[in-house]
Amino acid sequence: MTKPAVDFWFDFASTYSYLAAARIRTLAADMKVAITFRPFLLGPIFKTQGWDTSPFNLYPAKGRYMWRDLERQCADQGLPLKRPDPFPQHSVLAARVALIGLGQDWGDDFCVNVFRAQFGEGRSISEPATLAAVLADLNVVAEPVLAAAQADDNKARLRTQTEDAARYNIFGAPSFTTSDGELFWGNDRLEQALAWARRLG
């Protein structure tokens, strides 16, 4: 019997992925489910739906609601919230750096901390200096990591990861998948995804 496992798919620009990232490790540990962090880019997926930016910007009523809902959810989870400007942030560099870290031992921490820097502190994650500061907090020397992140082979890995997301029919973030191909969308489905994985395990 293998340990139950869930893949956690997110774009760093996604507000509800901040909520999921902040709680997934504790929840998964409690339920004895292994989590694989899988950053990808929503942009190419949104494009296939005809969107050139976040639906929260395209549909103002939905966007206003999202920010208010996020305030309430952050309050319930005890998380800080400071809206980054602009929204959405360009997330490609953060995702590339995350892939480097996920091949080493600091990837999950980096992801959680990038979300917190962006949505908890309102910092700009498109700026290399912000990512370098997050790396420094983890005692990772930033310069070689940022260089490796921007190398062609790593850029290709992020494209592949995004293609994998599309193959799972992922259309938003956060999403969760299990080994039988089941898809769960949204922070609100995290518990259900973990429970599903346990039933398979």
**Residues at the contact surface with its own copies, assessed by CB under 8 A:** 49, 59, 61-62, 64-65, 68-69, 72, 76, 169-172, 183-186, 188-189, 192
The residue among 52 and 76 lying less far from its own copies, judged by its C-beta, is 76
8 DSSP β-pair partners? 37, 176
The residue among 63 and 128 lying less far from its own copies, judged by its C-beta, is 63
The CB-of-17 to its own copies minimum distance in angstroms stands at 16
The CB-of-171 to its own copies minimum distance in angstroms stands at 4
Both structure tokens of 25: 């490790």
The CB-of-133 to its own copies minimum distance in angstroms stands at 35
Say which amino acid occupies 103: G
Q: In whole angstroms, what is the distance from residue 181 CA to residue 60 CA? A: 33
The residue among 40 and 106 lying less far from its own copies, judged by its C-beta, is 40
The residue among 68 and 82 lying less far from its own copies, judged by its C-beta, is 68
DSSP calls for 142-176: HHHHHHHHTSHHHHHHHHHHHHHHHHTT--SSSEE
Residue with tokens 């050139």: 52
